[in-house]
């Protein structure tokens, strides 16, 4: 039986995580290791300055006390698995909210998949796009996400993972019902337009502090291009292949000439 390792960045009690677990249990042996609290936008961070503890919630379901998604994968492979008995695939999600464009660099969800492929294990990050202040999830739930990830895992288990080492799949689910989805579309990551929102407040003793809010996010014009944003906007499930090599290969020759 295939072995699936699951994590997320919304915490071990997330409805998205529980929906993912439910969808994948029929396809293999599932182990869950998730953060004890929400770790959204923590990026590919590992905890190096304090000890971490596994807390068993139930059989094959653990929370990592104050750990990040990358911690969860790194330590799960060390504690719960051996070199001879490793998971066949790592799935991170179902994230509550999108992970498209440059948001991938912030994402704890995507970073767990990064950690998995660094350790030589195929991985998928899956996110449910959040629309109308969450009303889309309240209305449609995670049905389309569950159907999509189950289909992808079944296809992978029947053959091979479609990417070479150190690359993972970043999947985003449109905020629509399964009946209205148009299928899958392979995309590139789009380009975000970022604003700033850091609110200043004062504690009862008058000490100033800041709270990073959620700024309005837009997109660069991608009309006519197959980006994750366009696919979601058109009602498709977006699948973006992501590589960890961030070298700008097309600029090496120009930079070499410039520095000479």
DSSP structure string for 182-211: --EEE-B---EE----EEEEE-TT--EEEE
| Distance of alpha carbon 110 from alpha carbon 95, whole angstroms | 9
Question: What is residue 138's predicted lDDT score, i.e. its pLDDT?
Answer: 87
User: Would you state the structure tokens that stand for residue 155, as one six-digit string?
Assistant: 């296809």
Question: What is residue 135's predicted lDDT score, i.e. its pLDDT?
Answer: 84
Q: Who has greater pLDDT, 133 or 151?
A: 151
pLDDT tens track for 238-255? 999 999 999 999 999 999
Question: What is residue 213's predicted lDDT score, i.e. its pLDDT?
Answer: 74
- Of the pLDDT bands very low, low, confident and very high (cuts 50, 70, 90), residue 57 is very high
Provide mean pLDDT across the span 177-194. Answer: 94
Question: What is residue 133's predicted lDDT score, i.e. its pLDDT?
Answer: 74
- Of the pLDDT bands very low, low, confident and very high (cuts 50, 70, 90), residue 185 is very high
Provide mean pLDDT across the span 181-209. Answer: 91
Question: What is residue 235's predicted lDDT score, i.e. its pLDDT?
Answer: 96
CA-angle at 168, arms to 133 and 101, nearest 5°? 40
pLDDT tens track for 74-124? 999 999 998 889 999 999 999 999 999 999 999 999 999 999 999 999 999
Domains defined for the chain, CATH in brackets? 3-190+222-259 (3.40.1210.10)
Q: Over 70: is that where the pLDDT of 14 sits? A: yes
Q: Is the pTM for the entire model greater than 0.75?
A: yes
CA-angle at 243, arms to 237 and 245, nearest 5°? 160
Percent of all residues in the chain with a pLDDT value above 70, rounded to a whole number: 98
Lowest mean pLDDT of 87-91, 137-141, 160-164, name the range.
137-141
pLDDT tens track for 213-232? 766 667 787 777 799 999 99
Q: Over 70: is that where the pLDDT of 256 sits? A: yes
Nearest by Cα to 162 from 196, 126, 122, 222: 122
Mean pLDDT taken over the chain: 94
Provide mean pLDDT across the span 204-212. Answer: 92
């Amino acid at each position: 039986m295939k072995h699936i390792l699951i994590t997320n960045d919304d915490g071990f009690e997330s409805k998205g995580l529980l929906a993912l677990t439910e969808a994948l249990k029929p396809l293999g042996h599932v182990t869950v290791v998730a953060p004890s609290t929400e770790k959204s936008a923590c990026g590919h961070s590992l905890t190096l300055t304090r000890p971490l503890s596994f807390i068993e919630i139930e059989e094959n379901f653990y929370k990592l006390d104050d750990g990040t998604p990358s911690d969860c994968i790194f330590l799960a492979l060390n504690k719960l698995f051996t070199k001879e008995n490793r998971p066949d695939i790592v799935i991170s999600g179902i994230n509550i909210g999108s992970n498209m464009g440059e948001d991938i660099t912030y994402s704890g969800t995507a970073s767990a998949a990064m950690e998995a492929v660094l350790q030589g294990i195929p991985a998928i990050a899956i996110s449910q796009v959040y629309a109308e202040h969450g009303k889309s999830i309240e209305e449609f739930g995670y049905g389309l996400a569950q159907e999509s990830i189950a289909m992808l895992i079944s296809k992978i288990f029947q053959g091979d993972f479609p990417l070479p080492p150190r690359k993972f799949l970043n999947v985003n689910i449109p905020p629509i019902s399964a009946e209205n989805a148009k299928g899958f579309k392979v995309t590139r990551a789009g380009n975000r337009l970022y604003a700033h929102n850091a609110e200043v407040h004062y504690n009862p003793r008058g000490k100033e502090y800041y709270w990073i809010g959620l700024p309005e996010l837009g997109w660069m014009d991608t009309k006519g291009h197959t980006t994750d944003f366009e696919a979601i906007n058109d009602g498709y499930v977006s699948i973006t292949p992501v590589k960890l090599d961030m070298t700008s290969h097309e600029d090496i020759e120009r930079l070499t000439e410039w520095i000479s």
